[in-house]
Structure 1
């Protein structure tokens, strides 16, 4: 009998420990002993940005000028955020789809070649299909850089070798591509 009572008490013990549901809290206008200034409402940490920050939204609306630095930044950001699913050349054959995740479309499809660069920026911002939003990970200016790099990938994959100079053609042949 004692064992049965002990077993029931042990089963009830976790239910009695619900301190998470009754934690003390302060309203924003109340004093608080937790912080040195005695206020419950604290300023956000330095560098915190609101999701609808006007400066970020302006950077998203205005496409930066196409420069080698922008393309280089786009290549870096593409390698970090896009390559796992879209692959190095943008064909949609990245590591993630090879492990069973839905395959993204190739950037070399006629539909995406005809799409405006803004389309890629919008997809990075809001997501599309199985792709979730990257707006909390990729800065607005970097979204434009990635879109520019995608355009460079699209052009590079359809350029005939005859358009290359001798040195570039030799390097291409040596690489086996």
Structure 2
């Protein structure tokens, strides 16, 4: 009997030790008020001078698509981080375009079409009623600086919602570069090509 009592006591102590205080500690849940602060708000403004880990933004044009005077950026940022690797856009444009094509196909082509002509499956099936996606192959959009496409993906345009929650800033620049490549693919002047490039095109037919 004594052994049984000791065993039960030991089991009780073991079970008590399983309690995890971190699960029941005082904390504020998302969007909940807090009596701890004078303004009763549980959502706090970050202290001045602090930056969330991995989100230091020291190059404003890269994150806004605009220069300090508000004009649209006309060139890709010199460096992007794509799929975890730093890419020099001046010497590794092929990598930028590969990532841009991948993200464009996954996130944009269903409305804008694989060729950027505004004839994606959603458009063809009549699910875009108010304002169909524009074709990238119009004179107006061909003349737009590359920063325009980044700005539209960041802030949305017309009936298009922002894509900033699906594509990080570097991915948005890669997609913008791919859109420009699509435009060139449909409007390139053959006389601007070198003989070697024209020969490659001839062999592809």
Aligned positions of 1:1-177 closer than 5 A: 35-36=22-23, 38-41=25-28, 53-55=55-57, 58=60, 59-61=62-64, 63-65=76-78, 66=89, 67-100=93-126, 101=128, 102-160=131-189, 163=193, 164-171=197-204, 173=205
Moved more, 97-106 or 55-64: 55-64
CA distance in 2, matches of 1:115, 1:166: 30
Structure with greater contact order relative to length (CA < 8 Å, sep ≥ 6): 1
When residues 55 and 93 of structure 1 are mapped into structure 2, their CA distance, relative to the original with a 3 A threshold, is: same
Q: How many residues align?
A: 133
What is the Cα deviation at residue 34 of structure 1? 8.1
When residues 55 and 34 of structure 1 are mapped into structure 2, their CA distance, relative to the original with a 3 A threshold, is: farther
Unpaired stretches in structure 1, ≥5 consecutive residues = 1-32, 43-48
> How does the TM-score come out when normalised to structure 1?
0.64
Deviation track 1:99-132 (CA, whole Å, cap 9, x = no partner) reads 1114211101111011111110110011101111
Taking only aligned residues, the RMSD between alpha carbons, in angstroms, comes to 2.9
> How does the TM-score come out when normalised to structure 2?
0.56
Deviation track 1:32-83 (CA, whole Å, cap 9, x = no partner) reads x9843612147xxxxxx97xx5439855147423322111111111111110
Unpaired stretches in structure 2, ≥5 consecutive residues = 1-19, 30-50, 66-75, 79-88
